[in-house]
Structure 1
Amino acid sequence: MKEIKIGEVFEKEIEVNDCHLACNVGSGDVAVYATPMMIALMEEVSAKCLQQFIDKDMTSVGTCISSSHVAATPKGMKVKAVAKIVAVEGRKVNFEIRAYDETGLIGEGTHERFILNRDKFHEKAQAKLRR
């Protein structure tokens, strides 16, 4: 594993379409960018930011996320999520996360990920089926 760099940033931009709308994902009845979709994008950019530092047999899983969603975004607008590594404690990595649409900030918060061995994690999860 490479040394994880505090301050490393990763971002991704999407265009809001029907599959991202609150009325289509069950998080409300309005045709605006859904909070769960914003959080999923924030988690995706955090995972991708961290992936460059870890070995191929390792992965990271989200263990905690705290986020606000402060502005509505209509279908057709672009949304960008940004993750920044702010702390590393052993295998625990903390991120500052933000999301913007074309007019400004729409959400922000913190996210924690834990680095682990992919195969061992999968085996442990699958063992629940054998109980």
Structure 2
Amino acid sequence: MKPVPVGAKGEFAQTVETRHLASELDSSLAAVLSTPTMIAMMEQAAINAIKPFLEAGESSVGMTIEVSHT
């Protein structure tokens, strides 16, 4: 992997659909974007940020996440 410069940015956009809602995981929950979906979107943006610096066959693995979804 080439060095990833400080400030590298990645973007990911997705239209929220019914399948992305917390209520799809548990009907007692609100019909709002689920936290797991939000984290998956964040992960995709992070992948997009480092893609230009990956060599052929390389990937990335996350280690920790600290997030508040309020």
Calculate the TM-score normalised by the size of structure 1.
Answer: 0.49
Q: Secondary structure at the match of 2:14?
A: strand
Shift of 1:66: 0.7
Structure 2 counterpart of 1:51: 51
Per-residue CA deviation, residues 23-65 of structure 1 (Å, 9 max, x unaligned), is 1134x62111111100110011111211210111211011111
Name stretches of at least 5 consecutive residues in structure 2 with no aligned partner.
Answer: none
Find runs of 4+ consecutive structure 1 residues off by over 3 angstroms.
Answer: none
Greater helix share, 1 or 2? Answer: 2
Structure 2 counterpart of 1:21: 21
Greater strand share, 1 or 2? Answer: 1
CA distance in 2, matches of 1:37, 1:17: 11
- Of structures 1 and 2, the one scoring higher in RCO (CA 8 A, sep 6+) is 2
| Structure exhibiting the larger radius of gyration computed from Cα positions | 1
Equivalences for residues 2-17 of structure 1 within 5 A: 2-17=2-17
Q: Identical aligned pairs, as a percentage?
A: 35
Calculate the TM-score normalised by the size of structure 2.
Answer: 0.85
